[in-house]
Each structure stands twice: as C-alpha cells, then as structure tokens.
C-alpha cells in the first residue's frame, strides 16, 4: 500500500479500450523463513499465489535435520546477491518481508557490515537497568514479530526495578497507531501507562531512554 501510494504507475494489469496497461513488476525478498531461503518448500509456498521464484544456480544447498535452509557458502551468497541486484534493477518495487542482515548503508552513504542478533527481555533489561524513566514506542516491527508480550515483560521488569515505564503511540514508528493500541491491550498493558497523543513529544524529551520498536520496517516520513 505504501509503495502504491508513491509509484508513478498502476500496480495491477488493466484492460482498457485503448489497450492493456502492463502491471507493475514487484520483487519480494523473503519467501520462506528468511530472506535467503532456497528450499523447494519456499517455492511451493509462493507459486500457488501466482508468483515466480528467482531461479539461481547455487549448486548443492539442502536443509538441516529440523527442516530449515542450510547456511549458504560465501560463493553461493555472492551469486545470489548478484542475481538479486539484477532483479532489483528490473523491478518497479522491491519489498523485503524479512530482515536482510549483512551489508547495509549508513546515513552518510558509507557501506558497512552488520549482523542481526536476537535479544531477550533479560538482555534488554540489563542495558536499561540504570534508567529511572523509560518509554516504549511500538511500531510495525512489534506487530510482525508479535512481540507485544515480550515488550510488556520487559516493561514489568523495569517497573519492578523502580523505573517509570510509559507507552507512546507515535508516527515515528509507523503508520498504524490504532493497531498498536490493540496489540498493547492484548498484552494487558495498563491503560494508565499509555501517554495521550498530545503529551507524547514532551514525554519523549524528558525520559532517560526511549525504545522505538520497528522503525526500520515502516517509518512515517511525516513524523516530527
């Protein structure tokens, strides 16, 4: 929906009296369980939906005893990245449905290497233990990961340690503030811990730590 709002062309194919308008070409990275899943099962999941897999000759790949895709070699990853780069150049819109770890770009345009690492509530608590006031700003990433219960667990740990914990619905973390309220309610976050919209910016300015969840997934460009 966000891409359709910004695209210069119509997404679906349309038949008109003047002729046929070709559909937009969309490249989706992340079928299966991660962004580089090359198992046959991943192909089977997308083809009934009308999608076509990007075929790359990677040689032997296979899967683990648990059914997950095996780690690709450096040569296989290089071949895959080259094929994806060519497809990105030919596409009208590129969407990632999973975190693509590895190389990324800084705000200054410099490329560097990074690796996504899971963090438990206990690990996050240790980093925030000294904070006396913490605000959580939930976003699209929390919804995708269904992490509202973990966020509530972390908040409870901080409260037990004597910190003041609040939850702010703010467009910096995405375009779905109403949905965030529903997720927080599902996790039994007390209503009194929610900050009223008009008080969000003043609250964020005075707390010791603000945790924005999911701003790398969907960020509202109009947020201030």
125: its two tokens: 């608590």
Sign of CA dihedral 143, 24, 40, 77: negative
Give Dmax (Cα) for the chain. 69
Gap between the Cα atoms of 164 and 176, Å rounded: 25
Q: Among 65, 209, 218, which Cα is nearest to 143's?
A: 218
78 is catalytic: no
8 Å CB contact between 131 and 208: yes
Which of the residues 34, 92, 156, 217 is marked catalytic? 217
Q: Looking at the annotation, which residues are catalytic? A: 217
């Amino acid at each position: 929906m966000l891409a359709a709002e910004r695209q210069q062309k119509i997404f679906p194919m349309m038949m008109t009296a003047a002729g046929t308008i070709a559909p937009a070409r969309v490249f989706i990275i992340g079928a299966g369980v991660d962004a580089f899943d090359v198992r046959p099962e991943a192909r089977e999941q997308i083809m009934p939906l009308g999608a076509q897999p990007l075929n790359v000759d990677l040689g032997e790949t296979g899967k683990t005893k648990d059914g997950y895709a095996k780690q690709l070699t450096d040569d296989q990853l290089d071949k895959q990245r080259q094929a994806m780069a060519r497809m990105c150049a030919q596409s009208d819109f590129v969407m990632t449905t999973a975190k693509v770890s590895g190389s990324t770009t800084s705000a200054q345009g410099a490329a560097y290497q990074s690796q996504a690492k899971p963090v438990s509530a206990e690990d996050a608590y240790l980093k925030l233990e000294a904070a006396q006031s913490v605000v959580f700003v939930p976003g699209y990433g929390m919804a995708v990961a269904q992490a509202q219960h973990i966020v509530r667990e972390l908040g409870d740990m901080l409260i037990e340690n004597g910190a003041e914990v609040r939850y702010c619905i703010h467009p910096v973390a995405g375009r779905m503030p109403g949905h965030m309220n529903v997720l927080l309610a599902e996790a039994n976050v007390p209503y009194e811990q929610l900050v009223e919209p008009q008080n969000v910016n003043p609250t964020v300015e005075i707390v010791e730590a603000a945790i924005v969840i999911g701003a790398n997934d969907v960020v509202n460009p109009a947020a201030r």
